[in-house]
Amino acid sequence: MIALSNTPVLETERLILRAPVATDYSVYAAFMAGDRCRWVGGPQAERESFRSFAAIMGHWILRGFGQFVITDRRSGAVLGQAGAWFPAAKPEQEIGWHIWAPEAEGQGIAYEAALAARDHVFGPLGWTTAVSYIATDNTRSAALAARMGAVIDREAVPMEAPFPIDVWRHPNPRSLA
């Protein structure tokens, strides 16, 4: 199995966040084929999900950072993604998250992973600001962003999307201490 080299690994109490590998694709493709991915461009046919997964992997090469794959620390099960995201079409650097495995929803997995990602972007990556672009109707992600201390930034430039988007501005974790 080929892996991205020099990609950091983040560890939390229950999770390991690591670089995406080819074998993660089947869990991602199942997520992207269903209606749970409606806020991230889905559902998608396999052709499109393959391209979007390749973009997740390629982002690490083009930017030197990206979305980690969230795995269960004990079982190794692939649960989702979380991390830094800044493709060319985005106005600002973003912290994003998605739970791919339906059985992982409602378990605090996204929150735990998103906090680790936030610490990573404001720590080793040296970001001074970060946002999350969240569909206005995505109440679960909005609640997670608020739980992290993020607030809607009405002055921020929204990203283009086929539905209304709110821009949530994240606090630097050092300002929360």
Taking the C-alpha atoms of residue 108 and residue 77, their distance in angstroms, rounded to an integer, is 16
Mean pLDDT along residues 33-37: 78
Check whether 146 has a pLDDT greater than 70: yes
pLDDT digits (tens, 9 = 90+) for 60-94: 999 999 999 999 999 999 999 999 999 988 899 99
The residue ranking higher by pLDDT, 141 or 43, is 141
Provide the percentage of residues in the chain whose pLDDT is more than 70: 94
Q: Which amino acid is at 31?
A: F
Total-model pTM = 0.93
Give the β-pairing of 131-135 and 67-72. Answer: unpaired
pLDDT of residue 1: 47
Average pLDDT, the chain: 91
List the strands of the sheet with 10-11, edge to edge. Answer: 10-11, 15-18, 67-72, 78-85, 94-99, 131-135, 165-169, 151-152
Between the CA of residue 53 and those of 23, 31, 44, 146, what are the distances in Å? Answer: 11, 11, 11, 28
Check whether 176 has a pLDDT greater than 90: no
Taking the C-alpha atoms of residue 69 and residue 80, their distance in angstroms, rounded to an integer, is 6
| Of residues 81, 107, 75, 85, the one with CA closest to residue 25 | 81
